[in-house]
Amino acid sequence: MRLRTPLSAGRATSRVAAPAALVAALLLAAPPSSPLGPPAAQAAKAKPKKPRRTVEGELTRLRQAGSITLADRRAWRATYRQARAAVRSLPKRSTAARELQGVLDNTEDMARRGRISASLAPSVFLTLQVNRDWWTSQPIPVAGSRPAVPGSPLVWQYYVGEGLQIQWLGTFGLANALGTTTNPEKLAQQQAIGDEALRLASSRAGGPSWQYLFDFGGGAPPWGSGMAQITGMQALTRLAGRTGQASYRTTALRAASLVRRSPTSGARYKRPAGDHILLYTFTRMRVLNAFAQSVSGLREVALSTGDPKVSAAYVRAERELRAELPAYDTGRWTRYSLGGANATVSYHVLSRDLVRGLCKALEADAVAFAAGQPVPAGVVPPPAAPYCAAAERYTAYLEKTPNGPGAKARSRAAGAGTTVPAPREEPTAGLADGLLQPGPGESPAGR
């Protein structure tokens, strides 16, 4: 959005209104041709408009620059053309046609804005191909569901109007969950996710990133998520430990650049106490459960790798979370986001569990440090007390009002004969932000 800058007041000057007759005389006496010439000449000298960017034109540009292969250009152009043809073949105004058109619109919009880079193109055209195949042959899934896409190890989610999209947070959460088993098939599935994540990692904020390719809450594609990025770092670091494959660890550490750069490229929001890791790169909204999960993930990667950049990011993020914690507490409940509305019950419980997890982790770090064992960042661990106390308060709130602080008011209204809608299970702050959050009972860390 372009902001109009108001004219500066400047120095005070005295102004005298010119007589109307004088103004008319000046206008009539103006030369027939202005310094810019007559309108026709002005039009001739106007700067020519830049040609409109198109999907096929961007593929040609990337090929001419040597950024993609001829085979890739041909395959992706064919995918695009087939998707357009598929939309025309579907019944007009059908759900399938609307969803596939939504994915095409996102693709064309990214092309117009010059956002389809060589590194992002594999994700863009995979998404287009999956949607072309799905909406021409598969049933309509439930809104918000995660249908299994044949041949893909990734988690896909149906966003109404946006089609099927790669759910990177869900994908990495699944990889972490699979890593807790010794089942050979599940371990193979975990590695397949890791390999696809490496293949589809795109460049953002100076390193590999896993970007979202659809319009969401005011964010135009492609955009990133600090929590999804850190969960991906966790998943790849764990996979490297299990397989010994260095490329997973290398990519995970390079991916830390997203949480070391400021918005809108990165997710690092610099604050007086440290850094808040943003849930979305396109907004500075600060979400409690996402930030707590990000701090927990950075701690794990810092401890397992000893990488100095990840360690520094963890130290600064933990300091900021500790400073912010009181502001999320209303004295009766938790806020979903800083300065926002109360969290739903499911997000209150999730925040409580994540804060409790940090309490236990930092207590363990203190014991390890006292015994001379490795700790995250190799420095004196921060105090666990703020997190332990917060977890106890959140639990007490739940015991007092299991359905949230507004439950009694709703109950009284219902008793008076008023129809009261059921409580929402999505957060109510600003964005429809629950769509990229873990659902009730889920944990991105897979624990």
Q: Output the pLDDT for position 406.
A: 78
**If you write DSSP's letter for every residue of 155-207 in order, what string do you get?**
-EEEETTTEEEE-HHHHHHHHHHHTT---HHHHHHHHHHHHHHHHH-EEETTE
Per the structure block, which two tokens stand in for 143? 């809104």
Burial of 331: CB neighbours in 10 Å, binned 0-12, 13-18, 19+: exposed
Mapping DSSP to helix (H, G, I), strand (E, B) and coil, where does residue 223 land? strand
Q: Output the pLDDT for position 48.
A: 64
CB of 298 closer than 8 Å to CB of 314: yes
376 preceded by cis ω (within 30°)? no
Q: Output the pLDDT for position 181.
A: 85
CA nearest neighbour of 347 among 421, 419, 426: 426
Measured from the Cβ of residue 444, the count of other Cβ atoms closer than 10 Å reads: 28
CB of 403 closer than 8 Å to CB of 342: no
Q: For the chain, which ranges sit under pLDDT 50?
A: 1-43, 409-435, 438-442, 447
Distance CA 418, CA 411 (A): 10
Measured from the Cβ of residue 236, the count of other Cβ atoms closer than 10 Å reads: 28
Through-space distance between the first and last CA atoms of the chain, rounded to whole angstroms:
41
CA nearest neighbour of 364 among 355, 373, 354: 373
Q: Output the pLDDT for position 22.
A: 32
Q: What is the pTM of this model?
A: 0.83
**If you write DSSP's letter for every residue of 233-295 in order, what string do you get?**
HHHHHHHHHHH--HHHHHHHHHGGGGGTS-TTTS-EEE-SSSEEE-S-TT----BHHHHHHHH
**Rounded to the nearest 10 degrees, how much is the dihedral formed by the CA atoms of 375, 379, 385, 390?**
-80
Give per-residue pLDDT as tens, 221-244: 999 999 999 999 999 999 999 999
Residue type for 435, please?
A: L
264 preceded by cis ω (within 30°)? yes
Mapping DSSP to helix (H, G, I), strand (E, B) and coil, where does residue 299 land? helix
Q: Output the pLDDT for position 59.
A: 98
Residues contacting 221, CB < 8 A, separation 6+: 106, 109, 110, 115, 211, 212, 213, 214, 215
Q: Output the pLDDT for position 407.
A: 66
Give per-residue pLDDT as tens, 302-344: 999 999 999 999 999 999 999 999 999 999 999 999 999 999 9
